[in-house]
Amino acid sequence: MSIEARLDAYLAENDHEAVWFARPNSFTWLTGGDNVVDRAGDVGVAAAGYDGDGVTVVTNNIEAPRLREEELAADVDVETFEWYDGSLAEAVAAVSPTPAAADFDVGGFASVDASVLRQPLTDAQVDAYRALSEETAAAVETVARDIDPTDTERDVAAALHEALEARGIASPVVLVGGSERAQRHRHYTPSSAPVGDYALLSVTGNRDGLFTSTTRTVAFDPPAWLEARTRKAMRVETSALAATRAVGHDGGTAAEVFAAIQTAYDGVGWDGEWRNHHQGGAAGFDGREWIATPDSEAPVVLPQGYAWNPTIQGAKSEDTHLVTEEGIETLSATGEWPTRRVEAVGHDLELERHDVLHL
């Protein structure tokens, strides 16, 4: 279903005349343009609205010329207000037909859950996702191959940010865990500690509104258990993907996939390990459109990006995949990193997963 068809259905079902998006990922989902100036903000400098006839963008007089010239299609109407005369929310309220909804706080408007509307991915979005994911993986792998055991986690993180930005990819999440801290923490925010015997590099990249996540493991003099635990995490990830496809085909929920993840941990000898870290979920126009839990009722839709990220005490397996009725495609891959074929637990599926690189 096209974006316009989804929005038409949303307006009809909710008896709204318009719906507005100012959060950056949803603004890009609707317009293809970027409304971000300050990356720290939850709301961009422009809002895009749909009223059943077309798209209108509201922004201030500072941003309007640039957005018209560089970010928006020619058929998008732009309404402008003076930067010193009120807020974006007030400007939207002044021009929008009502009743209406918005993904940010607009007085008198209902709230909209944009994540539901953004799923599943369209064909054009899948093409952009492939490009983003492959380039993100290339950046991570390039940096990973150049690591020295004496490099600090922050040194590696700085190199990752630089490599991603050079490709036009923002990096909202860059985690680097050396051999000491990766064993203690599941979210290894970079520190001044040297990476030591091995390192986990975990990144979420963002471009054109889309988010992709990937992890790579490099080893110098690793503990004897690293490869075994990594391959068990790979099996859990493969199990999650197999369950995603099956549950999505049947129109099930995230809780059903999570049950398969729990079973997979038990099957590889780490029963209950899922309690120590979230396992991931749907990905696309957010790092995770939803995160699976034992009780999650989020619908599993196809075709959609999924980023599962199982961990086993110092080891991790994570990539972004496109899951469709026809199959499972690893998006965050370059073909230039060692892989190993592993079996799912409880499902008839084998996948090539990214293995440990020994330097």
Name the 3-class secondary structure at 172. Answer: strand
Average model confidence (pLDDT) across the chain: 97
How do residues 208-220 score in pLDDT, each as one tens digit? 999 999 999 999 9
Contact 209, 132 (CB under 8 A): no
Q: Which domains does the chain have, with CATH numbers?
A: 3-118 (3.40.350.10), 123-358 (3.90.230.10)
Q: What is the DSSP string of 66-127?
A: HIIIIIS-TT-EEEEE-TTSS-HHHHHHHHS-SSEEESS--TTPEE--HHHHH-S--HHHHH
**Sheet harboring 328-330: ordered strands across?**
290-291, 280-283, 304-308, 319-323, 328-330
How do residues 156-210 score in pLDDT, each as one tens digit? 999 999 999 999 999 999 999 999 999 999 999 999 999 999 999 999 999 999 9
Q: What is the DSSP string of 192-250?
A: SSB-TTEEEEEEEEEETTEEEEEEEEEESS--TTHHHHHHHHHHHHHHHHHHHHHHHHH
How do residues 33-81 score in pLDDT, each as one tens digit? 999 999 888 999 999 999 999 999 999 999 999 999 999 999 999 999 9
The proportion of the chain whose per-residue pLDDT surpasses 90, expressed as a percent, equals: 99
Whole-number pLDDT of residue 1: 84
